[in-house]
Amino acid sequence: MKPKVAFFDFSSCEGCQLAILNCEDILLDILNLVDLVEFRMALTETAPRYDVAFVEGSIHRDEDIERILDIRARSTYLVALGACACIGNVQARSNFVAPAVNYGEIYGEEARNRVQVDPDYWDLWSHTRVRPIDAIVKVDAYLRGCPIVPREFLHLVKSLLQGTQPFFPPNAVCVDCKMNENECVLERGLTCMGPVTWGGCDSICINSGYVCDGCRGTLPHANVEAHIELMREHNIDDRDIRSRYRLFMGAEPIGRGV
């Protein structure tokens, strides 16, 4: 029997699933080898169990927790799909400001006052802490990025079909940058998360004249203290450093003098 594969989404833009649908040159070949049983962007079928479940999006609410626990219980192999699922992504920035404050900043003083006097109204907008899915359930593999890299998705699928464990080298984005002969953006006085961020993206943002925002998450062996000092040496202030760690990684460099 073909392995049953399913895709699920929580809080996200669904851009990672779109990136998969854009793999037209090889996607049909993959579909001949698997049984796609659930994929909201492409079909409406469902199944009681899954050999592989790809999950996009971060966890916000209690019902999200119940749903991801159910998906995990029915899946043999669970993959975190994209930055939202892997690290919480940009929405995790809300963890650093109380939800009521966020609400007031977005919707104005009148809305904030209504929240304070009408608990039922507040219940519509409150949420639990934004978390990646591995904060709730066991994750077997990660496809990083915002969006994911189609090449890594294809490598993971081929590995699983062959019964092997997919391997993604824990190299920094700086490795990709050096291979592409890019000028270090730190030399231009710009913040860059490349030294502490998982590579494998071909340094696409730097190639295009931007910086690395860290959407692929912090490397397990990252020397955060050295990275902070490196940015300070390039006259980047602590406020910008803190903002960059919060932007995609949902991280706070607490205890590092920032």
Q: How confident is the model at residue 257, as a pLDDT?
A: 56
Yes or no: say if 114 and 121 are a contact pair by the CB < 8 Å rule. Answer: yes
- The tokens of 133 are what? 């899915």
Phi, psi of 57, rounded to the nearest 5 degrees: 105, 155
pTM value is: 0.85
Q: How confident is the model at residue 84, as a pLDDT?
A: 96
Domain that holds residue 29: 4-88+131-161
Q: How confident is the model at residue 83, as a pLDDT?
A: 96
Domain count, the chain: 3
Q: How confident is the model at residue 99, as a pLDDT?
A: 57
Task: Return the amino acid letter for 115.
Answer: V
- Rounded average pLDDT over 226-251: 89
Residue 254 in domain: no
Q: How confident is the model at residue 23, as a pLDDT?
A: 86
Q: Do residues 135 and 50 share a domain?
A: yes
Q: Which residue has the higher pLDDT, 198 or 161?
A: 198
Q: How confident is the model at residue 183, as a pLDDT?
A: 94
The secondary structure of 107-152 as a DSSP string is H-HHHHHHHHH-HHHHHTT-----B-GGGTS--SEEE-BTTB-HHH
The answer, yes or no, to whether residue 201 has pLDDT greater than 60, is: yes
Residue 226: CB partners within 8 Å, gap ≥ 6? Answer: 195
The answer, yes or no, to whether residue 125 has pLDDT greater than 90, is: no
Cα 134 to Cα 87: distance, rounded to the nearest angstrom = 9
3-class SS at 52? strand
Average per-residue pLDDT for the chain: 87
Q: Do residues 79 and 139 share a domain?
A: yes
- Rounded average pLDDT over 156-166: 92
Q: Residue 253, preceding bond cis, omega within 30 degrees?
A: no
Q: Do residues 217 and 95 share a domain?
A: no
Task: Scan for tokens 């579909």, then name that residue.
Answer: 31
Q: Do residues 138 and 48 share a domain?
A: yes
